[in-house]
Structure 1
Amino acid sequence: MSPLILIDALLLTVLLIIGVPVPLCFAGAVLFLVLTGDFGNASFLVGAGYAKLSSIVLVAIPLYILAGGIMSRGGIAGRLVDLADTVFGRMRGGLGIVVIIATAIFGAISGMASSAVAAIGTIMIPRMEERGYDRAYATALVSASAVLALLIPPSASMILFGWVTGTSILACFLAPVVPGLLLCLLLGSWNYVLTRRMPLAAPEKATTRQVMQEFARRTKRAGFGLAMPLIILGFIYGGVTTPTEAAAVAVVYAIPISIYIYRDMNWCDTSEVIWRAGQTTGVLMVLIFFAAMLGRVWTLENVPQQIMEGFLLVSENPVILLLLANLFLMIVGMFMEDVSGILLASPLLMPVMVHAGVDPIQFAAIVATNLGMGLITPPTAPILYFAALIGKVPLAKMLTPTLVFVFLAYLPVVLLTTFVPSLSLALPRLVLGVP
């Protein structure tokens, strides 16, 4: 690898470590190459960036962000929490299960982990503390559960992965589902273990009839929100719409539900939701623009092939190659959020995956689980820091339970997803008939 590319990669890493906004990190890496490299007229890089942004697939992402913002403001989070609380809240440690389930469902609706933290965390962290849970533990559980937004469809991250690698987005949606469900199970199990010594308040007594009546009432209240991901996925896999068109359907569905049925939002609120969605989308588009430019230069310099050759110098054993790829993804995930990690790492590692005989659909699940783990893994851990702000607790107090979730829940799922292909391929084969 040329010294110029190595310096550029080091510059990108340093900028990320010192906390420069991620789009500006990629912009700085591109500017460095343009000023110091011998690429002739650099206008072709601008063309490469705009060519990526012109894809119709990318329209789905701001639409899903907007739909998630509307449902978040429209009261869906509270209704999901109440419904899950009816089923699991009377168990010892049941509020932890409520957090996991509600966050997974809301993450599927919003498609973004940060939205799930903000919506579920503001409701559940105070409620858990009232019932005897340690506030730092509650915040750590919310942040660990929020990463399920990457794994439960429809996921904005999987749209990006499919777009970057040329893999079926429908298959990418399905690939991380089973790993995501396995992760829910492990998080729930460790929640039970970690809360055994907490002075949890005894749940209120209720008869079976009372529970069933409450469940029916809260299901009716939350039903329209619960139906949203089912409608989106039903339209997509039923062949009615493309993922982009389904995102538009989600927005059209979310507005009347939030304003006229739930009535937690009015038309004046929509302007604020649209403004925030536009801000998020703007940052994302700038990131994609510069990441595309950087990826074009690195491709011209044969960086993906050189990474593969470097891996092969260590070993040609597929197991070792997969472990090295996972290590690479873990490191990327520690310093970048999922969107940046996908844009950077997926094209670089694809030759390694092909050489190791990994199906691109399985690679989607490997990337999702690895980068999801990176979102809550120090030193940067963007979701962990965001949750600490939401929960108003010091990050240091969150580290012990978070590391339990990382090493004893996320890491086993990452390894199983990597070395048991059927976990990520079973649903795409069943639903889509992929080979």
Structure 2
Amino acid sequence: MSSLILMDVALLVTLMILGVPVAMTFIAAAAFLVIFGDYNSTTFLITAGYSKVSSVVLLAIPLYILAGGIMTQGGIAKRLLELADSILGRYRSGLGVVTVITTAIFGAISGMASSAVAAIGSIAIPRMVEQGYDRGYATSLVSCSAVLALLIPPSATMILYGWVTGTSIAACFLAPLLPALLLIALFSFWNMVLTKKMDIQVAEVQPFKVQMKTVYQRAREAGFGLAMPLIILGFIYGGITTPTEAAAVAVIYALPVAFLIYRELTFKSFYDVVWKSAQVTAVLMLVIFTANMLARVLTLEEVPQQILQSMLAISDNPIVLMLLVNVFLLMIGMFMEDVSGILLAAPLLLPVVTEAGVHPVHFAAIIGTNLGMGLITPPTAPILYFGTLIGQTTLAKVVKPTLVFVFLAYFPVVLITTFVPELSLWLPRLVTGL
């Protein structure tokens, strides 16, 4: 790899570490190559960025962000938590399992890990602390569970991956679903192990009929929220709509639920949701625009081919290649949020994994699980830092339980996802005929 590219990578990483906004780091990296590289014209960069941003596929992402914001303000997070708590809350470690499941479901509805941390964490963490859970542990559990939003459909991350690589988005939605369910099971298991020594207070056991009545009532209240991802996926896999059109359906469905059924969304809060969604979308589009400018330059510099040659120089064994790819993805996930990681890693690494015989849909699950693990892996761990703000605690108190979840839950799932292709390909083949 040329010294110019190595210097550019060093600049990118340095700016990330210093906390420079992601879009600005991509602009700086692209500008560095343009200034010091040998190009006759730079107008191709603007064309490269615009051609990607103008894609109709990307319209799905702001629509899902808007739908998730409406459901957050509309009270869906609280009702999901209360429903799960009515079923599992009477068990000693039940609230922790409830938190894992609820965060995963809400992450699927909102499509973003940060939204799941904010919505579920602000409700679940105080409730867990009140029952006797350690605050640092509660924050860690919510933060680790929130990254399941990258894996459970409809996922904004998988939309981006499918769009960048030209892979079926419907198939990409399904690829990481079984790894996500495996993660939920492992998080729940380790929650039971880690809470054994905590002085947790559990509510008194109610008579069976009373408990079933409570579950029924809360299921009715939460049913409209639970139906949302089912409706979206039903429309997509039933061939009724495209993923973009299904995102519009999600917004149309969310509005009457939040305004008329739950009655927790007001016109003022709706304005706030629209404004925040617009802000997130604007930043996202800028990141996509600038990342594609950088990707175009890196492609001209034949960086993907150089990465492949460098890895093949170490070993041409497919197992070793995929281990190197996992390390590369983990490092990207530690420094970047999932959107930037996908935009940078997918076009660079797809030729490498294709050489190793990995299907692009299988790679969707690999990249999703790796970036998710990077988001909660110290020292950078962007979602973990955000979780400490919501949980009102320090990173030092969150790190120990997080390392348990990373090394004993997430890391094994990453390896299984990488080296057991059927875990990721079975559902897409069954549903989409891949």
Q: TM-score, normalised by structure 1?
A: 0.99
Contact 2:79 2:218 in 1 (8 A): yes
Find the aligned partners of 1:319 and 1:2 in 2 and give their Cα distance: 27
Identity of aligned residues (%): 65
Aligned residue type for 1:396: A
Match for residue 167 of structure 1?
167
Contact 2:128 2:138 in 1 (8 A): yes
Match for residue 431 of structure 2?
431
Q: For residue 79 of structure 1, report the CA deviation from its aligned partner.
A: 0.1
User: Tell me, what secondary structure is at the counterpart of 2:199?
Assistant: coil
Q: For residue 3 of structure 1, report the CA deviation from its aligned partner.
A: 1.4
Contact 1:258 1:264 in 2 (8 A): yes
Match for residue 272 of structure 1?
272
Match for residue 117 of structure 2?
117
Match for residue 71 of structure 1?
71
Aligned residue type for 2:314: V
**2:54 aligned with 1:51, yes or no?**
no
Find the aligned partners of 2:211 and 2:130 in 1 and give their Cα distance: 22
1:370-409 superposed matches below 5 A: 370-409=370-409
> How many pairs are equivalent?
434
Q: For residue 92 of structure 1, report the CA deviation from its aligned partner.
A: 1.0
Match for residue 129 of structure 1?
129
Match for residue 176 of structure 1?
176
Aligned residue type for 2:63: L
Q: For residue 202 of structure 1, report the CA deviation from its aligned partner.
A: 2.8
What per-residue deviation string (whole Å, max 9, x for no partner) do you get for residues 391-415 of structure 1? 0001111000000000100000000
Match for residue 149 of structure 2?
149
Q: Which piece of structure 1 moves more, 40-49 or 30-39? A: 30-39
Q: For residue 5 of structure 1, report the CA deviation from its aligned partner.
A: 1.3
Contact 1:74 1:262 in 2 (8 A): yes
Contact 1:92 1:203 in 2 (8 A): no
Contact 2:71 2:254 in 1 (8 A): yes
Find the aligned partners of 2:359 and 2:374 in 1 and give their Cα distance: 22
Q: TM-score, normalised by structure 2?
A: 0.99
Q: For residue 268 of structure 1, report the CA deviation from its aligned partner.
A: 2.4
Find the aligned partners of 2:283 and 2:91 in 1 and give their Cα distance: 42
Match for residue 329 of structure 2?
329
Contact 2:89 2:202 in 1 (8 A): no
Aligned residue type for 2:21: P
Match for residue 191 of structure 1?
191
Displaced runs of 4+ in structure 1, greater than 4 A? none
Structure 2, unaligned runs of 5 or more: none
Q: CA RMSD in A?
A: 0.7
Structure 1, unaligned runs of 5 or more: none
Contact 1:335 1:379 in 2 (8 A): no
Q: Which piece of structure 1 moves more, 405-414 or 200-209? A: 200-209
User: Tell me, what secondary structure is at the counterpart of 2:281?
Assistant: helix
What per-residue deviation string (whole Å, max 9, x for no partner) do you get for residues 318-356 of structure 1? 100010110110111111111111000111111111111
User: Tell me, what secondary structure is at the counterpart of 1:59?
Assistant: helix
What per-residue deviation string (whole Å, max 9, x for no partner) do you get for residues 201-252 of structure 1? 0322211111110010000000100000000000000000000000000001
What per-residue deviation string (whole Å, max 9, x for no partner) do you get for residues 75-119 of structure 1? 000000000001111111100001011001100100000000000
Q: For residue 259 of structure 1, report the CA deviation from its aligned partner.
A: 0.6
Contact 2:93 2:195 in 1 (8 A): yes
Q: For residue 183 of structure 1, report the CA deviation from its aligned partner.
A: 0.2
Match for residue 248 of structure 1?
248
Match for residue 220 of structure 1?
220
